[in-house]
Amino acid sequence: MRNKYVWTFCVLLGMPLVGGAQWLNFRDPGTPRTSDGQPNLSAPAPRVHGKPDLSGVWEVESSPKKEIERYLLPGGINGLGEDDPSKYFINFLSDFPFGKEPFQPAAAAAFQQKMKNPQKPPTLCLPPTLPMADLFPVPFKIVQTPRSVLFLYEADTFFRQIYTDGRKHPDDPQPSWLGYSVGRWDGDWFVVDTIGLTDRGPVDVIGHPRSESMRLTERMHRRDFGHMEMELTVTDPQTYTQPLTVKVNFRLLPDTDVIESFCSEDEQDLPHMRGQ
């Protein structure tokens, strides 16, 4: 059982989330510099209207190799570009012992059956979804404005709008891949509350499930110019017996930008996958 489980991770990690080369060598005049002209990533975080300005191009920090090597294809690039992923991108529940994940009984049975009988997916280029989008080992850009915060993702060139204009969630949201997000400030932490996610999307690469009642809370704090931390909490009482919280760090990619990138372009892995 465990071998099939791990094999599934490896296959899914073959999906082409490739991050292409960036807009190179654009010297941003707003970036603080050290005496030798290099970006000073330890400089104070920029602020706007009294709050940290989250704007910039970011990428999640990789997990230590020993925490993710069992998931990766030996000798391969794993379709993830230059950097190793966070372990939570692969397995959002990786802090729990194998077989001890806090599933509701019905969800546990369904997940175990899925792992015993893996099915070949119709495509490796499913629409992007959360919380995976936060954990893609590919750059994304934050644009902070007075009434909304925009997330522009390089992987598949998609975007999110997080509204900070005081609006509430809809009473009866139409389930979607990225849901409905509203944001607020809690001191220097930006807090995003997202509902209305479709149950067709997984929580992670492994395929841990979720229901349409899932709620995602993202808390992010820009510690200094070049570093940001985020707490992600999945709350889904139909699927899990407790909220699931992970903490990850992001690094700023200075003097660069995101570019166009699409999963379906030159995707050649699916015909070689095993499964029914």
Q: What is the pLDDT of residue 18?
A: 42
pLDDT of residue 219: 98
Integer Cα distance of 34 and 38 in angstroms? 5
- pLDDT score for 270: 56
Q: Taking a C-beta distance cutoff of 8 angstroms, is the pair 151, 172 a contact?
A: no
**pLDDT mean values, one per 10 residues, the chain (276 residues):** 38 43 73 95 96 96 87 54 82 93 96 81 77 93 97 92 97 96 98 97 93 98 98 98 98 91 65 57
> Would residue 255 be called left, alpha or beta, if left means φ above 0 and alpha means ψ between -120 and 50 degrees?
left
Query: Could you tell me where the beta strands, DSSP code E, fall in 135-214?
Result: 140-144, 148-153, 158-163, 180-186, 189-195
Distance CA 50, CA 141 (A): 21
Contact 78, 12 (CB under 8 A): no
Per DSSP, the three-state class of 189 is strand
38-50 per-residue burial string, b: 16 or more CB within 10 A, e: under 16: ebbeeeebbeeee
> Quick check: 134 and 60 in contact, CB under 8 A?
yes
229 near 61, Cβ under 8 Å?
Answer: no
Query: Residue 255's closest CA among 38, 81, 18, 19?
Result: 38
Tell me what pLDDT residue 8 has.
39
The confidence score (pLDDT) of residue 275 equals 59
- pLDDT given at position 99: 87
The whole-number pLDDT of residue 271 equals 60
d(CA 228, CA 144): 15
